């Protein structure tokens, strides 16, 4: 079930009809770069994405800056390819924002809108949807996204070499994954708790046995 997700610097609103034009523009000029890996033309890619959204197989949010009256849209973030234990995260914004992101990511102390949106959707995946792991991917040449996903904790798990040609050049894709560490920590705490309880029960039983 989609909901409004509030971050520290960004707010993610479930996709609405009024966002269609902006979504179409960004999907065509930014999102389709990755779509070319699987679809021969943009029209077939857009038709697929639209159908998946309408049938709730893609959860899509519009990302807004959290600046009161000066608030503005800066991109989209989506969850797709769900399994009972995992989902993929995809996001895209315009080139101007991505260029600025690359500059800001050079400063470790800078907390960007994009980072906040990504961390917010990660929290939603782990705490609300109770997923075991999340995944994402990006082009090897996309340094801004690589820096971003690695900064928030994703681990590089694979490389698909020269998988699509863009602008006359072959592009390779990095695959990233992240396991829900809190899930593991909770499991360990439960195991310790059970062990403590069993130990206490054993002590009580041993003390109640008559000599």
Q: What is the pLDDT of residues 129-186, one digit of tens each?
A: 999 999 999 999 988 899 999 999 999 999 999 988 888 899 999 999 999 988 766 6
Q: Residue 32: is its pLDDT beyond 90? A: no
Q: Is the pLDDT of residue 3 over 50?
A: yes
pLDDT computed for residue 204 by the predictor: 44
Task: Find the mean pLDDT for residues 190-209.
Answer: 62
**Residue 104: is its pLDDT beyond 80?**
no
**CA-based nearest residue to 30, from 81, 101, 133, 120:** 101
Contact between 94 and 33 (Cβ < 8 Å): no
pLDDT of residue 84 exceeding 60, the answer is yes
- pTM listed for this prediction: 0.82
Beta bridge partners of 166: 169
Dihedral sign from CA coordinates of 89, 7, 32, 57: positive
Mean pLDDT of 87-115: 75
pLDDT at 86 over 60: yes
Find all residues with CB under 8 Å of 113, minimum gap 6, and list them.
9, 10, 63, 65, 74
Q: Alpha-carbon distance 172 to 195, whole Å?
A: 48
CB atoms within 10 A of CB 88: 18
Percent of the chain with pLDDT over 90: 52
């Amino acid at each position: 079930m989609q909901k409004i997700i509030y971050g520290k610097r960004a707010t993610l609103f479930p996709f609405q009809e009024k966002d269609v034009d902006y979504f179409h523009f960004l999907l065509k000029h930014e999102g389709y770069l990755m779509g070319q890996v699987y679809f021969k033309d943009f029209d077939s890619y857009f038709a697929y994405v639209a159908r998946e959204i309408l049938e709730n197989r893609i959860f899509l949010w519009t990302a807004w800056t959290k600046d009161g009256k000066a608030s503005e849209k800066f991109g989209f973030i989506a969850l797709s390819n769900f399994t009972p234990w995992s989902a993929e995260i995809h996001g895209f914004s315009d080139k101007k924002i991505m260029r600025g992101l690359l500059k800001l990511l050079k400063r470790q102390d800078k907390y960007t809108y994009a980072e906040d949106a990504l961390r917010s959707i990660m929290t939603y995946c782990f705490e609300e949807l109770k997923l075991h792991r999340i995944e994402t991917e990006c082009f090897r040449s996309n340094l801004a996204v690589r820096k971003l996903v690695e900064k928030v904790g994703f681990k590089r798990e694979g490389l698909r070499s020269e998988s699509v040609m863009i602008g006359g050049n072959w592009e390779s894709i990095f695959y990233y994954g992240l396991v829900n560490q809190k899930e593991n920590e909770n499991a360990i705490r439960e195991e310790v708790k059970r062990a403590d309880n069993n130990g206490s029960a054993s002590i009580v039983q041993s003390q109640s046995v008559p000599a």
